[in-house]
Structure 1
């Protein structure tokens, strides 16, 4: 057994093979990200003129006022968007955590852990005296129940993370469905949890740090076998979520705001704030006005309002994070600035059963990622030609650029409208019978501008594109039902390695209307040569999960093959990688967040100056 405890803070990456090498490159991405384009990642907010918050001055506690976008749920196994995750991060704790959204991950409810020599058994020792917000003590039985919910509940959106990604040992029935109560998660005693996985998986502790693995009180809802439930599910998911995090739930008014209060009996660093409140706003102008009226202490600046000439980057730290100032802003003040390369990719997705391949290829030929990043996103992102970010790509940023420049089939840093037009004419389309394509976007001026740029270019290629805007939650609902042709979306991946990105390019897990684990929303037909190549490559990754140099190399090679398969069939069309940004007034102090993203940061370390 290898023993790890919180006092030594021994890096998990030492036991995770090549993941550490990937993380070392994570700061090597390019210019600043969009900052506004992903309502789920950054938060957004409602309308101009909302009352001023309760920020404090003079070192006193107060309420941290932020901006968020539409939430989907407060149940950690259901809240699979980052807008909801920003809130559930404050309410729930698990065995491990991303400290301020950084890696390596650290124990939080766990006091320490041991790993078997073959890396298939993890034994966690829990802190004693940790309490849920209802006053009951957190024990090993709560984790057994919480993980069973993740695997078996009909409310779980991320069962694949425990059953396939980590691969916790379990039974399946004749239809390959999980057999309830067969999960190899055992309460050895009140304060010891043992987890057995089918085969080694290098980033196990990183995945266990994600919110869906948080502890909830045993039997709190009856959505799995053997538990009647103490409350109705909707109550738990929307008005009474009970966790063991640094903040307790106050209220959530859909479309308006959500708030939490400091939990004075928190087992870790007790919050220095009275609470956190997120105003829910989707409109860019309203976001900017809300921030400029100083109703928000920390915020994002929508790209339409961003002036690159006002940005001064004064330092880039050893994690690639950019620290500086921005201003003066509209209200005359100069605010603080932080830009962080995060594990994200934003793309145009296709319902491949509803959009013909020549159309998808024509859109790829028309799209010039560099133009979009420079003209639309004002260089607040990195042009994306792969799903993997430059820092995670095998060979780093240099390998990323070299492979894209030499092999990307649709024009590297250029639009190829002649090729797009030729493809469409060969498919039987022309000036008198253009192809009609709906592009569904969430309410974002940058995605709207991107869509308009594409629409104008595609007109010459016999594609008549219409742009439909929807709130983020409404977009997700349509995408999950595959009631779309093309759409804008992004992934903030759950761990820092190539397979965390390319698992979303697996055709065998791409039909959200089917049963089983869903990794991507595109209904990729599995009978194409490229699809089979992608499936074979994913199988190679799945069969070589050990934390060894040899296995890491095989995973890296297979990840590149999956990227090329995606190029061939154009399942998802990468547009940009984000550098997530935070702007804030001097009155508040918030520790910098890390590569995991702002939504993974707990605010018990924030305070008012």
Structure 2
């Protein structure tokens, strides 16, 4: 999940033959949501389907008294429009209200049909034909048809409100026309309704992750013409009303209310085409301060389920985790507790598909310094000391579950080949590489490491690294900046080193490794994906050649996959050589659930991709 401007990636594709993605993470907050924002008691506008009222944070802190409403905590949301949302908090609610053709059931990464009943693919892998479920209803009572998907996909491609146009135009690569500047020509996309229940989509070239992309909520169905933000549709309502007050989807819950900094509510949709919800609704208390989340959810037991950031690292005790088994998907299952309130909670720990890293601006930080930092960083120590074991050591940018060959191949390749020490600190080598580059006690190198202000863990990791680098003739200072400021500085090339991460858009290595494709790391050009300014070196040339191999083998065949896998590993090794991206850790997402809740385990796509219609509530204690 990414946070991005609406990039025009077609021009990039024309230049490189490749696919690109967004600039940074929506969930890019250290992986543990360690927000330092202070919750305030102010009046906020509350938006509902029928009216506008004001509610205070204090009022919203009173949990729902409805015994069959699921009570949760969420962070600050930005929109309820599936094509505009780029943050995890909004996506969590959108997932309950909107349905798409495909879905990741319970956030497991094996994609399944949702509003689609079946699909076929042409022999050349360029034409996808979907048969829709008949009788599926939107929340306004109209039936979901292929024409609704044509409209919804056109909004995704053409609306000024879309932040995900590249998903359909470039990542999937649906055939379309462009103007002289390479911009999409509205209405030219090859998505057609053959009849009410048959949708056809034609690609300009094959793409190996089409179905996985279509499971993203950006591809959700909306009633045709409901928002007037594209040519040919006046719209039943303004975009503002749709995105804040009256979103209409075909999901298991209908929208009730959303107050920006206080709460959001949805209710059971009785006519849902799938498994109707067991709960009457879901209520999210919106909070930004980790301590407030901890008090609300753990001390006072006002939330039914908590996720890692809602039981912040400062209050977390890993000795209270009792893992009883590990299931076939690698999820650790057991208990956590007792908590401050005396409760023993059900525990699930899931290796999710995300990577967190230190990025280096190659123009500002010499290769020797970057290599010294890699020698100094002990990833295992960082995970255990800073994150209290709430993560996995990272040596590749590609997460273990989607690395070529899987987690075992990931570990074997790292143990045998990572040049800077596997779970160890090698300060002698750090000093040696610095001396060879001309540095010493009287000639130290200084650089600034910028971390986002909302994280309490990245500064701690920075201090750990800073103290080690001091003995390798490097003075590293740590600066904090608001997340948006960090991104703005990065795009301008005004960062020396920085902390960021990436959560999957779709579960394939190219969704991650595009960030180290050298032409897309140049901040002097438009549409950069990262801020490394990495080009011209022998390693960068290897990475560029490997990326071309990925793009030249896009088909969903075993032969093409084998060639892509070879190229993915080559890109990882090229990055190891120049260390523009220093892997830090992979996220390990956790859920803590009270005994009265029966909820399916979530998978590697993380909890924000899970729907709550199969959650059951017993008698609260």
Q: Same fold (TM over 0.5)?
A: yes
Match of 1:97 among 103, 108, 118: 103
**Structure 2 counterpart of 1:347:** 357
Instruction: Tell me the distance in 2 between the aligned counterparts of 1:254 and 1:360.
Output: 42
Find the partner of 1:306 among 301, 304, 316: 316
User: Per-residue deviation at 1:557?
Assistant: 0.3
Match of 1:401 in 2: 411
Query: Aligned to 2:143, what secondary structure does the other structure show?
Result: coil
TM, length-normalised to structure 2: 0.83
Deviation per CA, 1:324-350: give whole Å up to 9, x if none: 111111111101011122211122234
Paired residues of 2:34 and 2:454 also in contact (CA < 8 A): no
Deviations, residues 59-95 of structure 1 (Å, cap 9, x unaligned): xx22x22222233432222222322221211121111
Distance of 2:233 and 2:535 partners within structure 1? 39
2:20 corresponding residue in structure 1: none
Change in Cα spacing, 1:35 to 1:44, as seen in structure 2 (3 Å) is: farther
Aligned with 1:564: secondary structure? Answer: helix
Q: CA–CA distance in 1 between the matches of 2:188 and 2:38? A: 42
TM-score computed with the length of structure 1 as normaliser: 0.85
Q: Are the structure 2 counterparts of residues 491 and 275 from structure 1 closer, same or farther at C-alpha, using a change threshold of 3 Å? A: same
Deviation at 1:593, TM superposition (A): 1.1
Separation in 2, partners of 1:286, 1:322 = 27
Question: For 2:37 and 2:216, how far apart are their aligned partners in 1?
Answer: 22
Q: CA deviation at 1:217?
A: 2.8
Work out the CA distance in 1 between the residues paired with 2:485 and 2:275: 37
Q: Does 1:156 align with 2:168?
A: no
Aligned partner of 1:326 among 336, 339, 351: 336
Alignment-derived partner of residue 17 in structure 1? none
- Equivalents in 2 of 1:43, 1:81: separation in Å? 17
1:392-541 equivalence runs, <5 A = 392-421=402-431, 426=437, 434-460=445-471, 461-468=473-480, 470=482, 484-510=495-521, 515=526, 520-522=529-531, 524-541=533-550
Distance (Å, rounded) in 2 between the aligned partners of 1:182 and 1:40:
41
Residue of structure 2 in register with 1:5 after alignment: none
2:346 & 2:138 partners in 1: Cα distance? 35
Instruction: Specify whether residues 88 and 353 from structure 1 end up closer, same or farther in structure 2 by C-alpha distance, changes over 3 A only.
Output: farther
CA distance in structure 1 between the aligned counterparts of 2:222 and 2:523, rounded to whole angstroms: 27
Partner of 1:288: 294
Query: Is 1:38 equivalent to 2:48 in the alignment?
Result: no
Question: Equivalent residue for 2:53?
Answer: none
- Please say which of residues 359-368 and 267-276 is displaced more in the overlay: 359-368
Aligned residues of 1:152 and 1:159 also touching (Cα < 8 A)? yes
- Count how many residue pairs are aligned between Structure 1 and Structure 2: 569
Q: How far apart in 2 are the matches of 1:456 and 1:491?
A: 27
Aligned residue for 1:22? none
The CA deviation at 1:368 is 1.4
In 1, Cα distance between equivalents of 2:428 and 2:32: 35
- Once the two structures are superposed, what CA deviation does each residue of 1:400-428 show, in whole Å capped at 9, x if it has no partner? 22322333233322233454456566376
Distance of 1:600 and 1:43 partners within structure 2:
25
CA shift in 2, pair 1:362/1:157, >3 Å: farther
> Shift of the alpha carbon at 1:356?
4.8
**Map 1:235-254 → 2, pairs under 5 A:** 235-254=241-260
CA RMSD of aligned residues (A): 3.1
Matches within 5 A, 1:217-296: 217-292=223-298, 293-296=300-303
Separation in 2, partners of 1:257, 1:478: 32
* Structure 2, unpaired ranges of 5+: 1-26, 41-56
Q: Is the 8 A contact 2:28 2:500 kept in 1?
A: no
On the 8 A contact 2:35/2:455 being kept in 1, the answer is: no
Q: Distance in 2 between matches of 1:230 and 1:256?
A: 28
Query: Paired residue for 1:297?
Result: 304
1:580 is matched with which residue? 589
Q: Are residues 529 and 183 of structure 1, via their aligned partners in 2, closer, same or farther at CA, if it must alter by over 3 Å?
A: farther
**Matched residue, 1:147:** 153
CA contact (8 A) 1:221 1:233 kept: yes
Quick check: 1:312–1:325 contact (8 Å CA) kept in 2? yes
User: What's the CA shift for 1:514?
Assistant: 5.2
1:221/1:416 CA distance change after superposition, 3 Å: farther
Q: Matches of residues 28-67 of structure 1 in structure 2 within 5 Å?
A: 37-38=30-31, 46=39, 51-54=61-64, 57=67, 61-62=68-69, 64-67=70-73
* SS class of match (1:603): coil
Indicate if the aligned counterparts of 1:493 and 1:500 stay in contact, CA closer than 8 A.
yes
